[in-house]
């Protein structure tokens, strides 16, 4: 997934530059529309990659999942059931599957990485609306607005998935801690 996202980001930048040059040379509105569309696409992809890199540099997939921000609210379980998250969560792509591999990480480490991933997607939701400001100078408000809403929905799905799955991973962590704690007391 990471290679494909990086490739699409680079391609959208290249197409943005090409169509912007064509617009400057030919002054045809189709090139202007394409430049805006691909430029906005580039922004949405690039900002997601950049935010992920920043959070990873700062947090290194370490977060205290017991903090209030990460706790599931009572209404969330009902929402997840209504959205039928259990049915679609396994169909969602993962940028870097190794981060969530039970072969490479403990359940505790996976829960921490899930917290970081949630924060990345929540930050992306906020940053998704920055392109709308460009409509002030470039027009095409609806192109910017629609792509921003699509970006928000995209990231919101991942926030929901992280929160839904993390509750289950934390239960596994708790059981593992209880089992290891009882094993240690039996050995003494």
Q: How many domains does the chain have?
A: 1
SS (H, E, C) 42-94: HHHHHHHHHHHHHHHHHHCCCCCCCCHHHCCCHHHHHHHHHHCHHHHHHHCCC
- For residues 176 and 72, the model is more confident at 72
CA distances in angstroms from 109 to 45, 53, 76, 101, listed in the order given = 27, 18, 23, 10
- Say if CB 161 and CB 89 are below 8 A apart: yes
- Give the model's pLDDT for residue 183: 53
Look up the pTM and report it: 0.85
- For residues 49 and 173, the model is more confident at 49
What is the band of 6 on the pLDDT scale with cuts at 50, 70, 90? very high
Q: What is the pLDDT of residues 53-70, one digit of tens each?
A: 999 999 999 999 999 999
The tally of CA atoms less than 13 A away on the side-chain side of residue 35 is 17
Q: What is the mean pLDDT of residues 3-8?
A: 92
CA distances in angstroms from 173 to 6, 107, 184, listed in the order given = 33, 6, 16
Q: What is the mean pLDDT of residues 65-85?
A: 91
Q: Considering only CA atoms, which of 147, 121, 163, 183 is closest in space to residue 38?
A: 147
**Nearest-5° angle of CA 87, CA 171, CA 185?**
155
* Lowest-pLDDT choice from 3-7, 50-54, 72-76, 88-92: 88-92
Q: What is the mean pLDDT of residues 4-8?
A: 93
Q: What is the pLDDT of residues 106-125, one digit of tens each?
A: 999 999 999 999 999 999 99
Range of the domain at 50: 2-187
């Amino acid at each position: 997934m990471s290679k494909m996202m990086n490739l699409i980001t680079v391609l959208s930048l290249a197409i943005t530059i090409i169509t912007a040059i064509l617009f400057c040379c030919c002054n045809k509105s189709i090139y202007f529309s394409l430049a805006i569309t691909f430029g906005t696409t580039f922004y949405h992809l690039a900002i997601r990659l950049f935010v992920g890199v920043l959070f990873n540099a700062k947090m290194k997939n370490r977060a205290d999942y017991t903090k209030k921000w990460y706790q599931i609210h009572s209404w969330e379980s009902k929402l997840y059931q209504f959205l039928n998250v259990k049915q679609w969560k396994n169909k969602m792509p993962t940028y870097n599957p190794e981060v969530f591999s039970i072969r490479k990480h403990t359940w505790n480490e996976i829960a921490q990485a899930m917290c970081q991933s949630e924060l990345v997607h929540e930050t992306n939701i906020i940053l998704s609306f920055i392109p709308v400001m460009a409509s002030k100078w470039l027009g095409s408000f609806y192109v910017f607005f629609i792509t921003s809403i699509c970006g928000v929905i995209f990231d919101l799905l991942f926030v929901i998935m992280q929160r839904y799955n993390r509750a289950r991973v934390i239960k596994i962590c708790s059981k593992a801690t209880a089992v290891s704690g009882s094993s240690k007391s039996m050995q003494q």
